[in-house]
């Protein structure tokens, strides 16, 4: 399991990268335009924060395969480190994934709503596929089931493509896709913070500390000075 941050907010990325086990950052056009400044400047700052070993995902916006291939080469040459191009699973997108695979440029097939889209993307050579869990749920589908079906198909056909489940509105959805066979997840900063937010934990920690200090003295704040 790997965890990615689905955001381009550099402050939140810096905090989460410091505290959580983060494997990289995913962006898309909606996420980048929220920052309202030159997108390459934002991506370079994210790269500075996460370093060159962690993956940074950038989505193409071109409509036809030639444009997508050109964008992919451009973005991988502009940014240092591991960059993965996200490509929507349209017919032109699939063609671009095939062409980029021939050139060993890693891709993620995105805007995935069905297991069969994911199957086509994997057969075209995509390194990752991103099913949109909450958006599927909003269409009265079942995002977790789609992830489970993709995992089953990939196992049956021994496809090496990894499922990076995306689009979540609550922690339960993330929990459920992990159990359904997602290899990795990408999640917005606010939801990642909620992964460990459980009221009993800070209450227990406060009890431990207060018992300690009642016995050893209120100035004893750690094992080192007790
Ligand atoms: O990575 C894809 C994701 O950003 C879509 O999420 O929350 O806009 O449905 P959302």
- Using CA positions, which residue lies closest to atom 10 of ligand 1? 167
- Using CA positions, which residue lies closest to atom 6 of ligand 1? 167
| Ligand 1: nearest atom to the Cα of 111 | 2
Neighbours of 173 (CB within 10 A): 21
Output the CA 130–ligand 1 centroid distance in Å.
10
Q: Are 4 and 187 in contact (CB under 8 A)?
A: yes
Cα–Cα nearest to 107, from 168, 191, 95: 95
Q: Are 33 and 42 in contact (CB under 8 A)?
A: no
Q: For every one of its 226 residues, what pLDDT tens digit does the chain have, with 9 covering 90 and above?
A: 999 999 999 999 999 999 999 999 999 999 999 999 999 999 999 999 999 999 999 999 999 999 999 999 999 999 999 999 999 999 999 999 999 999 999 999 999 999 999 999 999 999 999 999 999 999 999 999 999 999 999 999 999 999 999 999 999 999 999 999 999 999 999 999 999 999 999 999 999 999 999 999 999 999 999 9
The ranges assigned to domains in the chain are 2-198
| Ligand 1: nearest atom to the Cα of 86 | 1
| Ligand 1: nearest atom to the Cα of 168 | 7
Q: Fill in the DSSP letter of residue 104.
A: T
- Using CA positions, which residue lies closest to atom 5 of ligand 1? 167
| Ligand 1: nearest atom to the Cα of 134 | 9
Q: Name residues whose C-beta falls within 8 Å of residue 40's C-beta, 6 or more positions apart in sequence.
A: 78, 79
Report how far residue 172's alpha carbon sits from residue 10's, in angstroms, rounded to the nearest whole number: 26
The pLDDT score that the predictor gives to residue 47 is 98
- Using CA positions, which residue lies closest to atom 7 of ligand 1? 167
Report how far residue 29's alpha carbon sits from residue 150's, in angstroms, rounded to the nearest whole number: 25
Output the CA 126–ligand 1 centroid distance in Å.
19
Output the CA 95–ligand 1 centroid distance in Å.
23
Ligand 1 cavity residues, CB under 6 Å: 6, 26, 28, 130, 132, 134-135, 166-167, 186
The pLDDT score that the predictor gives to residue 86 is 98
The pLDDT score that the predictor gives to residue 173 is 98
Output the CA 217–ligand 1 centroid distance in Å.
50
Q: Which residue has the tokens 């999640």?
A: 187
CATH fold, domain 2-198, is: TIM Barrel (3.20.20)
Catalytic residues: 86
Neighbours of 71 (CB within 10 A): 18
Output the CA 127–ligand 1 centroid distance in Å.
19
Cα–Cα nearest to 182, from 163, 201, 168, 200: 163
User: What pLDDT, in 10s, does the model give residues 25-61?
Assistant: 999 999 999 999 999 999 999 999 999 999 999 999 9
The pLDDT score that the predictor gives to residue 124 is 98
φ and ψ at residue 111, rounded to 5 degrees: 50, 50
End-to-end Cα, the chain, rounded Å: 38
């Amino acid at each position: 399991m790997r965890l990615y941050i689905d955001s381009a907010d550099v402050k939140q990325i810096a905090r989460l990268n410091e505290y959580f086990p983060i494997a990289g950052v995913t962006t898309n056009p909606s996420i980048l335009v929220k920052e309202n400044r030159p997108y390459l400047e934002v991506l370079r700052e994210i790269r500075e924060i996460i370093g060159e070993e962690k993956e940074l995902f950038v989505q193409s916006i071109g409509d036809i395969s030639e444009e997508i291939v050109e964008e992919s080469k451009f973005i991988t040459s502009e940014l240092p480190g591991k960059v993965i191009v996200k490509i929507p699973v349209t017919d032109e997108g699939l063609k671009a994934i095939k062409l980029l695979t021939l050139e060993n440029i890693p891709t993620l097939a995105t805007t995935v709503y069905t297991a069969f889209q994911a199957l086509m993307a994997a057969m075209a050579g995509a390194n990752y596929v991103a099913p949109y869990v909450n958006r599927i749920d909003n269409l009265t589908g079942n995002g977790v089931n789609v992830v489970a079906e993709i995992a089953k198909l990939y196992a049956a056909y021994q496809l090496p493509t990894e499922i990076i489940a995306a689009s979540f509105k609550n922690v339960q959805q993330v929990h459920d896709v992990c159990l359904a066979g997602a290899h990795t997840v990408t999640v917005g900063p606010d939801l990642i913070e909620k992964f460990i937010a459980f009221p009993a934990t800070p209450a227990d920690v406060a009890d431990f500390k207060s018992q300690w200090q009642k016995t050893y003295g209120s100035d004893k704040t750690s094992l080192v000075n007790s």
